[in-house]
Structure 1
Amino acid sequence: MSLNEYKDEVREFLIRMNSLNGDDHQKMTWLYEEFELLKNAVDNSEKERIEHQLYDILFLIFEMAADNNFDLDKEWERGRKRKQDKYLR
């Protein structure tokens, strides 16, 4: 699946939950909380918790992209090219 397909899947889920709200500040608060949980999981070498926290973080990122109608595939390609130009040339 493409990144935009995951974003669209999250959008559909949020619509069904009546939770597509566009509150980026709230999502940033949740991301900080998830990063702290991820840090604790990494500190304790808890593989399953690390995987779960990564999923939660990705889901929130896809939520923000869905709320703002961002084209993640286009940005991935631009970012990939920038990294290749910077680090591989």
Structure 2
Amino acid sequence: MTIAVVILFFLGLLSINSGLMQGIVSGTGVNRDLPIYCVDRPDKTISFSFDAAWGNEDTSTLIDILNKYNIKTTFFVVGSWVDKFPDSVRQLSTAGH
């Protein structure tokens, strides 16, 4: 009985959450661009992205690996990271990311 109550509780949370999200997205009356999560392509292509918001210990190694395999990617960097690691930002830019 306890397991059934727990399952029903979580199912209720899921239905409430999906209803709230639908209201937030569609109920505002404002058209806005949403993130792209998937794109249909005839070729087999994937996209990489990295978030740079903490240390840069592995940034040079990561750039070397990406260069070795001729992979271009997107790095999302926060302002404090840019301020703290300007040389890494230049490395990313020079490498074409």
Q: Which has the higher helix share?
A: 1
Using the size of structure 1 for normalisation, the TM-score is 0.30
Using the size of structure 2 for normalisation, the TM-score is 0.28
